[in-house]
Structure 1
Amino acid sequence: MTAVLEPSSQTNLRQRLWRGLRSAPWTARLGMLVIVLYTLGAIFAPWLTPYGESQVVAQAFEPWGPQFLLGTDNLGRDMLTRLLYGGRNTIGIVALATCLAFLLGGAAGLLAAARGGWVDQILSRVVDVLMAIPQLIFALMLLTLFGTSIPTLIIIIAVLDSTRVFRLTRAVASNVAVMDFVEVARLRGEGNLWIMFREILPNIMAPLVAEFGLRFCFTFLFISALSFLGLGIQPPTADWGSMVRDNATLISYGDITPLLPAAAIALLTIGVNFVVDWFLHLTSGLRDDQ
């Protein structure tokens, strides 16, 4: 039977999460509402939009009105349509990149903590080399070399982000790997995969889940920045970062339309951080005496 670091906490984790959900602060509920609305908007974008993603429907920079609720962009495409499709595209790519980063970095971090020795040293030095290069510069260089297709973008961002995931996973897993129940599992003859995924991983899920939320935000901002610079999601695919760049000229005329995709990015980032803060507080065992 798999041992756990804190039996009582692990046994009652679901109950604590349910109680915490019912007593969640307004910030966490607001964050969850934002995440749900964004998710629904991304899923049902084709049914919520009156036009096609790249369809030119009017003259460039049409003002807000009954026909075009948020006006049109620099090519005459409906801004509301582009905004909804931009969320669908950006959130989907960010989710895939973040999951792949955790798959790579988490597995490598668990392996380094479970095996130690030369395996740990090699993986750690490779990660140190990758992290020594500024992430934005490294990404720009790789995207220039390998192209800016969506699969390439996801793989490059995932590999770069996996270094951060590796460092966190290795740090928290190393503390668990020296516990008595892990040594008992080794003496029983359990293999490394068993120790990694049955003994260590269940005891480090809380910080990893919190890091997933934060890493999602960082990746979201990073891909938006790349798109703003022209090396992220390529046109005619809608993306919030490129939408800010394409319509930035309207700011000179006092039009807030270019700020809408920027506000969408900021709102989702804040919402995810609210939920992450609540989850960290819930799993830390701290309580508010109010």
Structure 2
Amino acid sequence: MLKLLRQSPLSARIGMGIVMLNILVALFAPLIAPYGETSVVGDVWESSSAKFYIGTDHLGRDLLTRMIYGGRNTIALAFITTAISFLLGSFLGFVSAVKGAWTDQLLSRAVDIIMAFPTLIFALMILSVLGSSIPTLIFTIAILDSTRVYRLSRAVAMDIEVMEFVEAARLRGEGLWWLIRHEILPNALPPLVAEFGLRFCFVFLFIASLSFLGLGLQPPLADWGGMVRENSGAITFGIFIPLIPAGAIAFLTVGVNLIVDWFLHLSSGLHE
């Protein structure tokens, strides 16, 4: 692993630096943040000063504190959601590829029906009915995103499933779970790891979009997408506070994509 990191290109190292910075800030948010997440400590939209490094928001809360806690909340929610969607989507994709026949048809048609609806509209409909609690938000996005993971994992597993070593395992009498765990999964990991990074970016942006529309993380919890919406009125007065959380979203997305590009290059088997 250390050898691999030493051989990584500059772009991947920059991406890892961006991601690690965000992770460290998220982990140590209570120690880094100068104020409480919901504390009103100044006037509305104060400019940067020694007391408020990047100013205050629309309620007079310290913007730096809100940015730190917003990153913690958004990144944690996106990671948990992406992990659940991958567990569900990859498992069903592998089962579909290995079992085939009616199992493959049933799962594939169910996924096609879900994917026929625009993702944002489907999510808005579900969240409007069930509410925007954190568990509902996580499982709604995870189920919708798992359909994309299912399509990829099924396609990768179907290529692996016809290999000779899988046929040999079948002839030995190995069962479904053994084939998935020992034959399919190890050979499918490289593209799935790269896809995990891409899906994290999509989920991260999707959560920010829902928060901007008012159906993501609910106040008083800090969230970068919600912070853009809450402070959007500042633009009218020439105050560019909404650009700070928007820039943080773009910054992290670019960092993850730089790492994903490196993983895709490694998994492709191509060399410079």
**Shorter-chain-normalised TM-score: which range?**
over 0.9
**Are residue 40 (structure 1) and residue 24 (structure 2) matched?**
yes
Q: Which amino acid aligns with 1:74?
A: H
Aligned to 1:253: 237
**Are residue 278 (structure 1) and residue 225 (structure 2) matched?**
no
Q: Which amino acid aligns with 2:210?
A: L
Q: Distance in 2 between matches of 1:177 and 1:18?
A: 32
Aligned to 1:119: 103
Residues 76-112 of structure 1 show CA distances to partners (whole Å, capped at 9, x for unaligned) of: 1100000000000000000000000001001000000
Aligned to 1:148: 132
Q: Distance in 2 between matches of 1:112 and 1:285?
A: 27
Instruction: Extract unaligned runs of 5+ from structure 2.
Output: none
2:141 is matched with which residue: 151, 157, 160? 157
Aligned to 1:98: 82
Q: Distance in 1 between matches of 2:159 and 2:11?
A: 32
Q: Distance in 2 between matches of 1:147 and 1:236?
A: 16
Q: Which amino acid aligns with 1:199?
A: E
Change (3 A) 1:182 1:196: same
Aligned to 1:228: 212
Q: Distance in 1 between matches of 2:94 and 2:68?
A: 38
1:219 is matched with which residue: 198, 203, 225? 203
Question: Is the contact between residue 20 and residue 282 of structure 1 (CA under 8 Å) also seen in structure 2?
Answer: no
The secondary structure found in structure 1 opposite 2:22 is helix
TM, length-normalised to structure 2: 0.98
**Are residue 197 (structure 1) and residue 143 (structure 2) matched?**
no
1:64 is matched with which residue: 30, 43, 48? 48
The secondary structure found in structure 1 opposite 2:39 is coil
Aligned to 1:75: 59
Shift of 1:187: 1.1
TM, length-normalised to structure 1: 0.92
The secondary structure found in structure 2 opposite 1:257 is coil
Instruction: Extract unaligned runs of 5+ from structure 1.
Output: 1-16
Q: Which amino acid aligns with 1:177?
A: E
Aligned to 2:168: 184
Q: Distance in 1 between matches of 2:128 and 2:83?
A: 24
Q: Which amino acid aligns with 2:153?
A: T
Residues 197-228 of structure 1 show CA distances to partners (whole Å, capped at 9, x for unaligned) of: 11111001110000000000000000000000
Q: Give the fraction of aligned pairs with identical amino acids, expressed as a percent.
A: 59
Q: Distance in 2 between matches of 1:84 and 1:19?
A: 33
Q: Which amino acid aligns with 2:271?
A: R
The secondary structure found in structure 2 opposite 1:223 is helix
Residues 231-274 of structure 1 show CA distances to partners (whole Å, capped at 9, x for unaligned) of: 01000000000100111112223222110100000010000000
**Could you tell which deviates more after superposition, 249-258 or 35-44?**
249-258
1:131 is matched with which residue: 106, 115, 126? 115
RMSD of aligned Cα (Å):
0.9
2:71 is matched with which residue: 87, 92, 103? 87
Question: Is the contact between residue 97 and residue 155 of structure 1 (CA under 8 Å) also seen in structure 2?
Answer: yes
